[in-house]
């Protein structure tokens, strides 16, 4: 099992991920790092930060097996990624993120899984109000706050992470830094 995001990215590369796919995971990881640091510091919510970072580093692993889904819509990579990671000894809770990052409308997701999905949208500057609302509700449940108490702070955090999206998109072109 990868014990750090760097090990997770190395695993991804060892599976045959293209440079573009590795770069995508690096950029989602960058967004997840900023998101989780600010959530922990500003909203005082308790969660397994390392799970979010590991999930961000591996969430699209199935695109190794379904490379057409790097440029076209598709969902075959999600269960394929879960199976691929399980076959490499990755624990089920981490392999599951390959499926849950795109299935964030499910009611059975942990905050960590929702945060991977959120980082996967914010990295490029996108905002998905329904997803952010689910994260807000989950944080309110975990902290005992009212949702409206969480809203302003979460909105500001998401805006800050998304604000760097255009620059991250520019860096998503392999070979540019």
Give the per-residue pLDDT at 176: 42
- The pLDDT of residue 175: 52
Q: What is the pLDDT of residue 174?
A: 65
**CB-CB contact of 27 with 77 (8 Å):** no
What pTM was computed for the model?
Answer: 0.94
Residues 6+ apart with CB under 8 A from 113: 55, 96, 97, 100, 101, 104
Domains of the chain and any CATH numbers: 5-171 (1.10.3210)
Compute mean pLDDT per 10 residues along the chain, 177 residues long, and list them: 95 96 97 98 95 98 90 87 97 97 94 98 98 97 94 97 96 68
pLDDT in the model for residue 70: 81
């Amino acid at each position: 099992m990868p014990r750090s995001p760097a090990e997770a990215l190395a695993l991804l590369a060892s599976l045959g991920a293209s440079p573009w796919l590795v770069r995508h995971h690096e950029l989602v990881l960058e967004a997840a790092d900023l998101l989780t640091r600010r959530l922990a510091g500003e909203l005082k919510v308790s969660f397994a930060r390392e799970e979010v970072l590991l999930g961000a580093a591996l969430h699209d692993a199935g695109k190794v097996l379904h490379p057409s889904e790097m440029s076209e819509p598709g969902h075959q990579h999600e269960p394929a990624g879960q199976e691929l990671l399980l076959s490499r000894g990755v624990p089920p809770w981490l392999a599951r993120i390959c499926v849950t990052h795109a299935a964030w409308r499910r009611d059975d997701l942990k905050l960590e899984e929702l945060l991977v999905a959120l980082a996967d949208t914010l990295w490029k500057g996108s905002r998905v109000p329904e997803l952010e609302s689910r994260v807000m509700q989950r944080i309110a449940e975990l902290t005992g706050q009212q949702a409206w108490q969480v809203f302003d702070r979460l909105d500001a955090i998401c805006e800050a992470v998304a604000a760097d999206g255009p620059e991250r998109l520019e860096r998503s072109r392999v070979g540019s830094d």
